[in-house]
Structure 1
């Protein structure tokens, strides 16, 4: 007997699930619904439809041609989709991957393929909803060009939102809050009539930074929530007073503050707790470094504004060197305990990135005080975050090799060139276009040398 394809098994599973749901609806209907009440309710609904049709015709006459007011805001839809996905990702993965699909993935059926089928199914359903509801209103209320633009962006924004929601759901809350924060900033800039292409570029860089680190999906939490959402049928629950809930609370506040069971046993979290204790013991160095770096960026440029070209690279170098120096004490932190190199570095770098956030805020504040445009500030912040993201990781990698007494070679001129471009970008933002070329050019990574 030939093995069935993944699609055929998936289709069979969906058919069985819908049959069970229909059976439950029928049982609920036969148990609590009075046929006489259904008959009169149907007549009332038909009467309301006639009234609604007349009201809709009057409303369309009033709104005819006034859709041009909202036509210019079509380009805001992708930004709105990102914000919506980030907010809903706290409590909903978006794609209904349940325990049934999870059990199929243990058979010769790809889990990734099943997720793709669920994604396409939900996207096709959304396309049908858009065609039935927003599309007719768009053609009535707007010009033909504006309606096409709105509907096209709806078709593009929904899969973007669904994909981002699925990816963010399993990430820590700090990532979700970061997406919400930066998306809100880009949305404010949009209403100040800043170039949309630059805002889309900023969102793209944010996605790149978020998803460069591949993390395993939290399948247990995904399945718990999806099982409850799929089988918590409102009509059945209303009449039977039985509601299906996930075994644990997964609200927004719970997602942020409540620790998952077993989380402290993971290697990543264990190293994070060790580094947290070490950073608390080194608080005097941290509380001297971060305020000093912030003062370098804030105080001097307030007296001589062009000095920001020099104080920004200096602040970045000082912060990176102090962060690298603290990491160099890794042997004393772990003593004789063996540790996994990559997890050790990753857990420390996450704290180092968080520590740099006040520096970013200070740079944004001083540029606002100096009267710089939002477009220039946005480009500068993107370049700074990109450079720090890559260069700080390189510094920590160097320190790890120094601790392990390994030889390595690094092209220092690339780091110097990146710092010069960041400083020149304060003078004119076009210099910042060279930062990605320096950061991502082949050969940027550290290369170990063989000991001859």
Structure 2
């Protein structure tokens, strides 16, 4: 693809002015935050940092054996890293196209410049920056630490090559449906499991071959069905989200989400049926799509906790289940409440019971990864109590969730009286934590289900009256 020199000059002009504008903002922030006293402290801190560089040599020498161990593991696990690295790019495609194509670059396409060539310049810029970063980082590691230069070079080549060959797949995945992204994440995880039981070297070569084939097949469809508005929205926020400015102005930068995460769903393109159920479903889908990052962060942190605590102790896993049940139910209730504090629902009349029913479906969908992790642990530690424990955990979650949501509904509807049973909820959560040591307490699910059934019958009785 031959580049027009005028396009390159215009592209560099935008970059220079962006740097200049951001520099001006940073200087303004520094003038606001730094007074003479703080300046003195910063000078002293700078002196301390310079002095610490001389001390670092002694620290590195004292930890020479640890660096040698790290180098040995880096050599042994090289192909393991190759198989794991693609997961990073696939997960990043959930929120980042990987190419910094902002509204400024889009303005160039209004001029007689091809959007494809502008995109190609953005790709080249990205690769140059990454290669320079890896060279600087690798040089520092080689100079400061006793790690062999050949090992550092091998990893620099690996990271740089992976960044280059994953550019197009990440770009295409960003435009794809969420199901497609989850499919690729799952596929790479499965390949890693296969590599664990066979050979990381063979699986790594196969994975690289698959990525190269995807690049060749995607080359002709790079600009097919691209959501440029979404791409620019993400990159504009990434470029101008400056923490120092946010700190100086005491204003938090918030991304203006104009596009739902479910915009590509098939159901989104079907004719809309104006029923209460369909309307509520659409409302929740749009709201949760805008808050998808918060939902993913919550579920992700809880999932990592459920995976990590296994290495501490077996009882720690059951305590983690307790924390997961309580935190997930609490976050679900917070999101339910927030939905009625914003947008048009803030001024419309609410049928909160109906919204509660339609919301429950989305709560279940979000809990699937956590449920799979708990089931996998129970299967791996199979016992006759496993099915009973699972029923107890699910029923306890439903009980705590119902209490949280009912309390939220009572606050939203300004009810004067509310039957708070959270005391029982805490009791059942404690029983979940000790169920690892005493599986017999899992029979408490009978009481939990009995209470929920009794409450449901009472509600039906009130409605019939």
Alignment partner of 1:5: what SS?
A: helix
The answer to whether residue 108 in structure 2 is matched with residue 104 in structure 1 is yes
How is 1:397-408 mapped onto 2 (pairs within 5 angstroms)?
none
Equivalence for 1:200: 205
2-structure distance, mates of 1:6, 1:138: 39
Selected match of 1:185 from 168, 173, 190: 190
Indicate how the Cα distance of structure 1 residues 198 and 144 shifts in structure 2: closer, same or farther if over 3 A, else same.
Answer: same
Structure 2: gaps of 5 or more residues: 274-465
TM-score by length of 1: 0.51
Equivalence for 1:115: 119
2-structure distance, mates of 1:231, 1:15: 15
User: Does the 8 Å CA contact 2:127/2:164 hold for their aligned counterparts?
Assistant: yes
2-structure distance, mates of 1:106, 1:260: 27
Indicate how the Cα distance of structure 1 residues 229 and 209 shifts in structure 2: closer, same or farther if over 3 A, else same.
Answer: closer
CA RMSD, aligned part only? 3.2
How is 1:63-102 mapped onto 2 (pairs within 5 angstroms)?
63-66=66-69, 67-102=71-106
Indicate how the Cα distance of structure 1 residues 121 and 232 shifts in structure 2: closer, same or farther if over 3 A, else same.
Answer: same
Question: Per-residue deviation at 1:9?
Answer: 0.4
Selected match of 1:176 from 177, 181, 203: 181
Question: Per-residue deviation at 1:48?
Answer: 3.1
User: Does the 8 Å CA contact 2:138/2:152 hold for their aligned counterparts?
Assistant: no
2-structure distance, mates of 1:14, 1:202: 36
Equivalence for 1:218: 227
User: Does the 8 Å CA contact 2:100/2:122 hold for their aligned counterparts?
Assistant: yes
Runs of 4+ residues deviating >6 angstroms:
none
2-structure distance, mates of 1:260, 1:157: 28
Equivalence for 1:40: 41
Indicate how the Cα distance of structure 1 residues 118 and 143 shifts in structure 2: closer, same or farther if over 3 A, else same.
Answer: same
User: Does the 8 Å CA contact 1:63/1:141 hold for their aligned counterparts?
Assistant: no
Indicate how the Cα distance of structure 1 residues 71 and 53 shifts in structure 2: closer, same or farther if over 3 A, else same.
Answer: farther
1-structure distance, mates of 2:50, 2:166: 33
Equivalence for 1:446: none
Alignment partner of 2:77: what SS?
A: helix
CA distances 1:206-257 after superposition (whole Å, capped 9, x unpaired): 774695594411101111111111111110111102233332178xxx73xx
Greater CA drift, 163-172 or 142-151:
142-151
Structure 1: gaps of 5 or more residues: 274-452
User: Does the 8 Å CA contact 1:81/1:160 hold for their aligned counterparts?
Assistant: no
Equivalence for 1:397: none
How is 1:11-410 mapped onto 2 (pairs within 5 angstroms)?
11-60=12-61, 61-66=64-69, 67-137=71-141, 140-194=145-199, 196-202=201-207, 204-205=209-210, 208=213, 214=221, 215-248=224-257, 255=261, 258-259=262-263, 269-270=269-270
TM-score by length of 2: 0.50
Indicate how the Cα distance of structure 1 residues 163 and 116 shifts in structure 2: closer, same or farther if over 3 A, else same.
Answer: same
Indicate how the Cα distance of structure 1 residues 58 and 19 shifts in structure 2: closer, same or farther if over 3 A, else same.
Answer: same
CA distances 1:75-129 after superposition (whole Å, capped 9, x unpaired): 3344333100111111112221111111211221121222222222222222222
1-structure distance, mates of 2:237, 2:175: 17
Equivalence for 1:343: none
